[in-house]
Structure 1
C-alpha cells in the first residue's frame, strides 16, 4: 500500500527520528497482527483447516500489502513448495540433509542479492523472514525424519517434537507462514504449532490477554528508547577520528549506551512479535494436573538476563533463543551424533551460524572474536570463581562480599566484551570495524591473549589453586 508507506515516511520524518521506513512497516505489521490474533482466536479449535488458511491469508496481507514485500513472498512461496515436494519424495536421512542444503542456499542467494543492491518501494530486505523460514523448514524436516526412527535413539527434545508423516500442504503453509511471527520470529516446532491450533484459547482469554499485552508494552518501551536515543548513540561514530580523541572511560560508556540502544531495536521487534504470538495461543503446552494451563516459554530474548548477567555465556544464551535452540538441537546434536566428535561438531555449528547470518565480512569478524572471548571467559571462570565462592555457598545461594565484587567486575567486563565484539556486526565491513577497535586500543583481543598466556602458558591457575575456598572445586577446575 503506497499510501500507507507514505504515511510511514511522514511519521519517520516528523516524529520517529528518521527510523527507516521498512522498520516502521515491520512494527506496523506486528501491531496489525494483534487485531488479527483476536480474530484467529474466534475460529473454533475444531476448524483446524480454517485456522491454517487464516494464518496464510493474514501473512499475505501483512507481508505483502503492509510491508510491500512482494518479491519476498514469491521467493518464500516458491521455496515452500520446493521443500514440501522434497519432504514428500525423499526418504531416510537424505531428506533432512537435502532440505537443509537447499533452504540455506536459497537464503544465501537472497542475502547476497541484498548485500549487492536494494530495490523495491520499501526495502528489498525480506531475508529476516527467510531466516526464520529456514529454521522452521529445516527443523520440520528433521522432526519428520525423527518420526521414522526408534524413539530409544532420540533425545528427549527429539521425541517430544517428532512428527509421524509429512503434514498436509495446508498445514505446512500455515505453519511456515504463521502470521504474528512470520517477519521476525520467534521460530518454533510444528508440534508447538499443532498444540496451538488445537487449543480453544477463548477459555483462557484473560490470562492470554494479560501475558500478551504486558509483553507488547515491553516492546513499546524499547521502541521509545530507540526513537529517543538511536541517533545520539550509534556504532558508526565509534569509527571516527573525533571519537578516538575521547578518554577511554568516556568511550567505554558511550559504547555501552550504544549497545543498549542497538539491542533495544531487537528487543522491540522480538517482544512485540512475541506478544502477538501469545495472543494467538502459541506456547500452549497442555493442562496441568490441577486443570490449569501449561505454557511454553516462547521468548526469543530474555532482556533482563542479557543486560544483568555477570558472564558472557549467560548473555549469549539469553539472546536470539530460537536460533540457539535450532543450532543446538538440529545442528550441533545431529553433527555430534554423526561424527562422535564434539570439537568438530562445535566448529561446524559455528560455521553454520555464520552462514545463516549472511556474508557481510563484519559478521564473521564478530563470530570469530566472540568465540575466542567465550573461551577466555570460561578459563577465567574456572580459575577465579573458586577464589570467591565455595561449593557450600553455591548450594545455599549465598553471595559473600567477595562474590558480589566478582559479579560486579564480571558484569562490566562481559558487557564491554559483548559490545566490543558486535561492532563489526553493526558496521558490516572490516575497515571501519578495525578503526573502531583501534579507538579502544584493541582491548578485548589484548585481554584474550593475556588470558591465554597467563593460564595456558605460564600456569597461573596452579599458583591460584592454594587460595581456592573449596579445594575439591579447585582440583576440578585446574
Structure 2
C-alpha cells in the first residue's frame, strides 16, 4: 500500500531542487515548499535581530518582508504566482478607489470570485483529488487577509464605535493602508505560503515595534508605562520556537513512518474498492485520515515558529511569568486528539480560519448566520464535492447536536459510569458533553472566596473580595455579581483550612453586550426612544436626555435584541432619578429566544421589587440563554422609563460553531 511510483507531481516553480526531490522521493513542489519555509525560519531570526524596529524604519521592514514573500511565491509557483499578485493588486485598487461604504462587499466578491475561478481551473491543471501544494493554498490565505482587512477598514471608517463589538472596535482600521503596507501584510514571507491569517492592526504593530509592548500593557491593565514593561527588553521567542520545531520533528517522523505507509489515495484504488469488504474499507479510511493529520500539524506549526522567530505572535505573560507566543497559532494538537465533541475539534483545528469566518460572515450576517458561514467555508475550500457534502450536511448535524446536548447531557453528567461511557463515545464520534463535578465532594467549595484585582501579591489572593461562596449544590452552577470590580486576575481561594479545590467550570463576564444590540419598546413618548437605554450613559435626570419613555399603557415593555444568543449572567438597570422611580416596581426581566407576545412570554430572570431613585441595580440571571432581554410591567397601566440597561453574558454554544478548515 505504498505510494505509486508512477505518479508525476507537476510544478510550475523552480526545478533547482529536482535532484533533492528525486533522492528523497518527495514531490518537487513539496520540496520547494519545505525549502522556502526553512529559509524563512532563518530569515525570520535575521529579521528580528538585525532588522528590528530599533535598527530599521518600518518602510524597510515592510519592503523586505514583501519582497521575500514574492520571491517565495515565484520560486514555488513560477508564473502561477501572478494569480496571487493580481488579486492582491486588484483588491488594493478597490480599497483606494471604491466607495468606502461598499469596499468590504467589493473586496469579498473580488477575492472569493477570483479564488473560485482558480479553484475550478485547478481541477483541470492538477490531479483532481490529490492534495498538493499548488498555488491555490497561498491564494486561500490571501483571500482571508484581503477580506479581513476590508471589513475592518469598513468598521473603522464607516461605523460608529458603539455599533461595533469590543473585538471589532479594537481591530478597526481608521486609515487606508499605503501600497507597501498592503503588500507587506498580504505577501510577507512569514505567512505567504501557509498562513496563518492575522489582523492588520496587529501586523502593523509588529512592523513598527509596538506589538509586544502594547500587548503587555493591555494585559497588565495599565497604559502609562508604570508597570515597568516599557523599561525591560522584549521577551525572547527562542523557547517557543524550539518547542514548536520539536513538535515539527515529531510530526515529520510520524509522517515518514506511519502516514506514508497508509496513503490516503489508496481509498480510491480500483482494486481495493472493488475487492475489499466494506468494513475493511471503512476501517482503512478512518486510520488513513487520522494518519494524514500530522502533515497539517507540521506545516501549521512550522509557520507559527517562523512568525515567532521574527518576533510576531506574542500573546501575553502567563501566570508563571513566562511569555506565551500563541497569538496566531493555527491549531492545538492536544485539543484535537482528545476532543470529545465536533465543536471542540473544530475549535482547535485551523483556528485562524475559524476566526476569519466569524469575523467576515458570522458576526455580520443579519440572519441564517450558521448556514451562510458553512456555505462560505465550503466555497473557500474549493470544488471538491466532499467539502460541499461535509459543510452542507454539517448544518443540520450541528443543529441536531445542539438539541441532543440540551436534552440529554444533564441526565448523564451526574453518573460517573454513564459520563465515562459518554465521553468515550463522543471522543470517537464527535458529540458534545460538558464536565460537571456532580459525583462527590461538592461541599469542598463551602467558604471559598472570589477575589478580583490587578495584583499578584499572595498569588492574587490579597485582591479585593467579590463574594464568599456559602455552598453550591452538587453538579450545579451559581452566579456571583461583582458590581463592576476591575482587575486582570480572578482568584478562587479556600482560606483558613487544608482542602482540595475542585472547579469544573469558571465563567467570567464583564463586557456590556447591550451596547451592540438593537432596542425597541411598546411606544415612544416625549422624545424617549428605546435606544437611550443602551447609549452607555447612566444619567438619570430626564432633562439630561438619556432615558426612555413609553406612553401610559397596559403592560408597557422595552426589548433588547442582542443579535445573537448569549447565556445571560447579569442585567443592570438604572432608574430615573428626578421623579417617578416607583414606576418600575413590579417590573419583570424576561430573557429568551422567542418573540411570542413581543418577547414578554420568555423565561423570567427577576422581578424588580424596587430600585432607588437615580441608582443602578444588578440582577443575576443564572446564565439563562436568549437573544432577547425584555423589561415589562405586567398587570397595570403604567409609564415605563429606563435610563440605562446593561447586560453581561457569555456567547452561547448556539452562537457560533465555525466550519473547520
Higher helix share: 1
Q: Deviations over 1:120-170 (max 9, x none)?
A: xxx882110010001001110111111122111001111111011111111
SS of 1:181 mapped into structure 2: coil
Q: Deviations over 1:58-90 (max 9, x none)?
A: 11332223x2x1223222222222111110112
Does residue 409 of structure 1 match 2:418? no
Residue of structure 2 in register with 1:93 after alignment: 101
Among 92, 99, 116, the residue aligned to 1:84: 92
| Compared CA separation, residues 113 and 182, structure 1 to 2 (3 A) | same
| Compared CA separation, residues 82 and 376, structure 1 to 2 (3 A) | same
Residue of structure 2 in register with 1:126 after alignment: 135
SS of 1:218 mapped into structure 2: helix
Indicate if the aligned counterparts of 1:32 and 1:62 stay in contact, CA closer than 8 A.
no
Among 94, 98, 111, the residue aligned to 2:119: 111
| Compared CA separation, residues 291 and 233, structure 1 to 2 (3 A) | closer
Indicate if the aligned counterparts of 2:254 and 2:294 stay in contact, CA closer than 8 A.
yes
Bigger shift: 141-150 or 243-252?
243-252
TM-score, normalised with respect to structure 1: 0.75
Displacement of 1:116: 1.2
Residue of structure 2 in register with 1:39 after alignment: 46
SS of 1:365 mapped into structure 2: helix
Does residue 236 of structure 1 match 2:265? yes
Displacement of 1:236: 3.4
Indicate if the aligned counterparts of 1:135 and 1:187 stay in contact, CA closer than 8 A.
yes
Indicate if the aligned counterparts of 2:29 and 2:133 stay in contact, CA closer than 8 A.
no
Residue of structure 2 in register with 1:455 after alignment: none
How do 1:274-423 and structure 2 match up within 5 A?
274-284=304-314, 295=325, 297-336=327-366, 341=367, 344-390=368-414, 400-414=416-430
Residue of structure 1 in register with 2:69 after alignment: 59
Q: Tell me which structure has the larger Cα radius of gyration.
A: 2
Does residue 221 of structure 1 match 2:221? no
Residue of structure 2 in register with 1:259 after alignment: 289
Q: Structure 2: which 5+ residue stretches go unaligned?
A: 1-12, 214-231, 432-621, 627-652, 654-661
Separation in 1 of the partners of 2:318 and 2:240? 18
Residue of structure 1 in register with 2:197 after alignment: 187
Separation in 1 of the partners of 2:69 and 2:191? 9
Displacement of 1:91: 2.3
| Compared CA separation, residues 244 and 380, structure 1 to 2 (3 A) | farther
Q: How many residues align?
A: 396
Separation in 2 of the partners of 1:325 and 1:403? 31
Indicate if the aligned counterparts of 2:145 and 2:197 stay in contact, CA closer than 8 A.
yes
Separation in 1 of the partners of 2:39 and 2:386? 34
Separation in 1 of the partners of 2:302 and 2:40? 10
SS of 2:422 mapped into structure 1: helix
Separation in 1 of the partners of 2:350 and 2:98? 31
| Compared CA separation, residues 164 and 375, structure 1 to 2 (3 A) | same
How do 1:141-220 and structure 2 match up within 5 A?
141-148=150-157, 149-199=159-209, 207-220=236-249
Indicate if the aligned counterparts of 1:306 and 1:319 stay in contact, CA closer than 8 A.
yes
Separation in 2 of the partners of 1:195 and 1:61? 24
Displacement of 1:267: 0.9
Higher strand share: 2
Does residue 25 of structure 1 match 2:35? no
Separation in 2 of the partners of 1:3 and 1:352? 36
RMSD: 3.2
How do 1:420-459 and structure 2 match up within 5 A?
none
Separation in 1 of the partners of 2:296 and 2:185? 23
Indicate if the aligned counterparts of 1:195 and 1:286 stay in contact, CA closer than 8 A.
no
Displacement of 1:243: 6.1
Bigger shift: 288-297 or 35-44?
288-297
| Compared CA separation, residues 204 and 242, structure 1 to 2 (3 A) | farther
Separation in 2 of the partners of 1:55 and 1:36? 10
Indicate if the aligned counterparts of 2:330 and 2:349 stay in contact, CA closer than 8 A.
yes
SS of 1:211 mapped into structure 2: helix
Separation in 1 of the partners of 2:69 and 2:22? 25
SS of 1:179 mapped into structure 2: coil
Separation in 2 of the partners of 1:207 and 1:150? 38
| Compared CA separation, residues 288 and 306, structure 1 to 2 (3 A) | closer
Indicate if the aligned counterparts of 1:12 and 1:21 stay in contact, CA closer than 8 A.
no
Displacement of 1:370: 3.4
| Compared CA separation, residues 294 and 315, structure 1 to 2 (3 A) | closer
Separation in 2 of the partners of 1:236 and 1:300? 26
Displacement of 1:252: 5.3
Select the structure with the greater relative contact order (CA < 8 A; seq sep ≥ 6): 1
Separation in 2 of the partners of 1:235 and 1:411? 22
